[in-house]
Amino acid sequence: MTNLYRQAMDGLYRLCVVVAGSAMVIIAFIVPWGVFTRYVLNSASSWPESAAVLLSIVLTFFGAAACYRVGLHMRVSFVRDHMPRLLQRLSDLLAELLMAAVGVFMMDWGWGLCMTTWGQSIAEFPSLSVGVTYLPIPLGGLCLLLFVIERLLIGAPVDKSGDAHAAVAFE
C-alpha cells in the first residue's frame, strides 16, 4: 500500500512540476509581448499583465507544493540542528503537523474564496470567473497536504542515488 501511495505522489509531484513549469514558460513569453506592444508598437495590450499575474498564482501554489515535497523549500535549521536527537525528531514532527495545518487552511479558505468570487469576472478576460483563477490555492493546499501525509506515513521521497530529497524523514 505504501508503494502505491508513493507512486501516486510521484505522479502528483510530476503534475505539479509540469503545471508550475508551464506557467513559468508562458509568463516568459507574455511579459516580453506586453513590453513589445507598449514600447515598440506604442499601443499597449491590456491582457499581458493580468495574464502574468494569474499565471503567477498557478506557479506559486503548485510550485510551492512541488518544492516542499523534494525539500527545496526555504528552511532555517540552526536551532534544530543543535538540539538533542529526540527534540530534533519532535521538532520535525511539529513542523510537519504545522505544514499539514497550512495545507488544510489553504484548502478551506481557498475554496471559500473561490466560491465567494465565482460569479465575478475579470475585466481583461470577461468570460473567466475570478473563482476559477483562485482554484490553485485550494488545489495547491490539497497537494501540500498529500505530500505531508506521505512524509509522515512513509518518509521523504528518495531519489535514485538513495539520497532523501528532504532533510526530514520519519522512520
Q: Does a structural domain hold residue 74?
A: yes
Predicted local distance difference test score (pLDDT) of residue 162: 54
pLDDT in tens, the chain (171 residues): 889 999 999 999 999 999 999 999 999 999 999 999 999 998 888 889 999 999 999 999 999 999 999 988 777 788 888 999 999 999 999 999 999 999 999 999 999 999 999 999 988 888 999 999 999 999 999 999 999 999 999 988 876 655 555 444 443
Return the CA Rg of the chain.
19
Q: Does a structural domain hold residue 169?
A: no
Q: Does a structural domain hold residue 10?
A: yes
Residue span of the structural domain in which 61 resides: 2-154
Q: Does a structural domain hold residue 165?
A: no
Predicted local distance difference test score (pLDDT) of residue 87: 92
Q: Number of structural domains, the chain?
A: 1
Q: Does a structural domain hold residue 160?
A: no
Q: Does a structural domain hold residue 161?
A: no
Q: Does a structural domain hold residue 21?
A: yes
3-state secondary structure the chain: CHHHHHHHHHHHHHHHHHHHHHHHHHHHHHHHHHHHHHHCCCCCCCHHHHHHHHHHHHHHHHHHHHHHHCCCCCCCCHHHHCCCHHHHHHHHHHHHHHHHHHHHHHHHHHHHHHHHHCCCEECCEEEEEHHHHCCHHHHHHHHHHHHHHHHHHHCCCECCCCCECCCCCCC
Predicted local distance difference test score (pLDDT) of residue 164: 52
Predicted local distance difference test score (pLDDT) of residue 143: 97
Sign, CA dihedral 56-58-59-63, equals positive
Q: Does a structural domain hold residue 64?
A: yes
